Structure 1
């Protein structure tokens, strides 16, 4: 989670994907020892010296100006989310290193709770910045986690974690027809959050635990994709209502929490399926489920975690 090493790793990962042909650079058939552009080639594109760029990528310089960062973003072909992430990483590298800190528990504000109440007719879930489930309405619980206790988010020390559910819980994994796309979205969002909060000890614990428990997460994390949550359609296979397609739209609150709303096209079969789900409940004689996936040292009970992916 160190800002300088993370900044260098991000720059290197993006440089390795930008090939000479992408920018019209002639190589005349020469054999290249590294994938993608060389450091000096990227420096030339960005209009900075090769030595300065090398120091920046190696974590030996932490004074990059916003203009230099924007030049690097243009040279690397970064989109807006990636450009903001680059600035966040550089800012964390420039700050004096204070080590990881354990932030206070997150709580729902009255405004967010009222918003959740107003969204009673659509599935909605409130996530903390580490993707802990802080609250969900009845339909949100029924759609995303009917196999978990409905009051799970009420217990701060033992809340479900959405990223852990996606990677470690087979029921959540089975919900998504295209699980790989959902998984990439979760990891890309976590990358964006890490850039903004590089000293968050709980976030570091979550990343470390998922890396150890899921080879798929580890591979995606090493890919350095960055994307803040936005609006993404997902085809789902729900155990009660069958096939349903929802757009999961993320709304960020002022206190850095996210309200994820799942909405459907008016008049569609998916809209009708959600209406049916609202009228149904989990059977009373359903067998008890194990506790939701946890991260040791993060969700209250060290050493307990969900099944491996």
Structure 2
């Protein structure tokens, strides 16, 4: 992308096109005409009419040739597409980016995890916890935080990535009984990043790899979901501690943009908590493949 080109316009158009394809005339309050429709979702002229804008203007907007939609146009499109609030905010952000000239390529995000955060990971034991980058690179962990993800410790530390693990590691589909749900949330986080920073080289590398290697990722990527859960319950079918359902919480790490701390927990005295104690113990033991404790292996890596 050259400095003269508008930044994010293509992402705006693709988002609109994907969402237009996902809403039926009936859902939009329209009566479909007789005979089968050649394409799913709303036609361009139907969405333009619902939003109160011309078909020519909407077509230019979707194709990236119109890069300065007003707030009222964006809000009208969000209403016509029945977007939820998070999706509406995402569309607003894309519209702002579409009207900006591309700056110089951004600096690579830091992979360094502060010593205080590493101490926090140790303090959370026996609860599994790890720190990930904005593209889900695994940057730091405590023993249970690595052992919970069966098989990921066998990969070189710098290649450990939650998205890569979900789509490419053979164990992931067994570990997560609701694998389909897990991958949707993962892709939604990456799609949201593509909307706020479409020039991100770290995202381009990861998405490019997964688009080539995983048909499931390619299908999810084209859905343009941007909502991802930050807390809730997650089920595991773990080869060492059996079936368990854990609470999980994801939090931004203040002072280090893009870093998230993810931790899993269970009520003390429950079988789930006993399983976490065992995972922490197992994760503390050296293995032939690689050290698993954040104290035995560096927990932060340079660019």
Q: TM-score, length-normalised on structure 2?
A: 0.84
Q: How many residues align?
A: 286
CA contact (8 A) 1:102 1:201 kept: no
CA–CA distance in 1 between the matches of 2:253 and 2:96?
23
2:102 equivalent to 1:97? yes
Alignment of structure 1 residues 82-121 onto 2, 5 Å: 82-98=87-103, 101=106, 103-121=108-126
Q: 1:111 to 1:64 in 2, by over 3 A?
A: farther
Q: 1:24 aligns with which of 25, 29, 36?
A: 29
Which stretch of structure 1 is more off in the superposition, 161-170 or 260-269? Answer: 260-269
Q: What SS class does the counterpart of residue 247 from structure 1 fall into?
A: strand
Structure-1 residue corresponding to 2:278? 276
Q: 1:71 aligns with which of 68, 76, 86?
A: 76
CA–CA distance in 1 between the matches of 2:153 and 2:52?
54
Structure-2 residue corresponding to 1:191? 191
Structure-2 residue corresponding to 1:245? 245
2:239 equivalent to 1:236? no
Give the drift of 1:149. Answer: 5.8
Point out where structure 2 has 5 or more consecutive residues left out of the alignment.
2-6, 291-300
Q: 1:160 to 1:123 in 2, by over 3 A?
A: same
CA RMSD of aligned residues (A): 2.8
Q: TM-score, length-normalised on structure 1?
A: 0.82
CA contact (8 A) 2:109 2:258 kept: no
Which stretch of structure 1 is more off in the superposition, 83-92 or 133-142? Answer: 83-92
Give the drift of 1:247. Answer: 2.7
Residues 56-97 of structure 1, C-alpha deviations (whole Å, 9 max, x = no match): 111011111233222211211112222222123222222213
Give the drift of 1:267. Answer: 4.8
CA–CA distance in 2 between the matches of 1:16 and 1:159?
35
Structure-2 residue corresponding to 1:263? 265
- Structure of greater relative contact order (alpha carbons < 8 Å, 6+ residues apart): 2
Give the drift of 1:105. Answer: 3.7
Give the drift of 1:50. Answer: 2.4
